[in-house]
A and B are shown apart, each in its own frame.
Chain A
Amino acid sequence: MSRKYVIIDASDVASINFNEVSETSADTLRFSTDGSKTFVKFDGDTPSALSDKASYNHTEILTILEDGDWTSPLPE
Chain B
Amino acid sequence: MPSTLLTCTSSTRPASPNAGDTLFETDTKKIITSDGTHWYLYEYDGTTGFSNTHSVTLDGTNQSVELGTSSSTLFNFGTNDFSLSIWYKPHAVGNYFNLWSGHTGGGWLMYVGSGGALGFYGDNYTALPSVGSATVNGWNHGAVVRTSTKVKIYLNGSKIVEDTIASTAVFNKASSNIVGMGATGSNTAYNGEVDEAALWNSALSDGGVSTGATAGGDIATIYNSGVPNDISAMTPIGWWRMGETDSGTGTVVTDIGAGVGGTKLNGALTNGASFVTDVPT
| A residues whose Cβ falls under 8 Å from a Cβ of B | 5, 22-24, 28-30, 33, 39, 41, 58, 61-62, 65-66, 71-74, 76
Chain B facing A: main interface SS: loop
Tell me whether B184 and A30 are in contact (CB under 8 A): yes
Residue of A nearest to B180 (CB): A28
Q: What is the CA–CA distance of A24 and B250 in the complex, to the nearest angstrom? A: 13
B85-103 contact mask (Cβ, 8 Å, vs A): 1 or 0: 0000000101110000000
Chain A facing B: main interface SS: loop
B61 in contact (CB, < 8 A): yes
B130 in contact (CB, < 8 A): yes
B221 in contact (CB, < 8 A): no
Q: What is the CA–CA distance of A29 and B272 in the complex, to the nearest angstrom? A: 11
B188 in contact (CB, < 8 A): yes
B142 in contact (CB, < 8 A): no
Chain A residues with Cβ under 8 A from B92's Cβ? 62
Q: What is the CA–CA distance of A61 and B268 in the complex, to the nearest angstrom? A: 24
Tell me whether B186 and A71 are in contact (CB under 8 A): yes
- Counting contact residues on chain B (CB < 8 A from A), the size range is 20 to 34
Q: B116 CB to closest chain A CB, in angstroms?
A: 13
Q: What is the CA–CA distance of A12 and B185 in the complex, to the nearest angstrom? A: 22
Q: What is the CA–CA distance of A45 and B186 in the complex, to the nearest angstrom? A: 31
Whether A29 contacts B130 in the complex (CB less than 8 A), given A23-B272, A76-B114, comes out as: no
Chain A residues with Cβ under 8 A from B59's Cβ? 58
Chain A residues with Cβ under 8 A from B184's Cβ? 30, 71
Tell me whether A30 and B61 are in contact (CB under 8 A): yes
Q: A72 CB to closest chain B CB, in angstroms?
A: 5
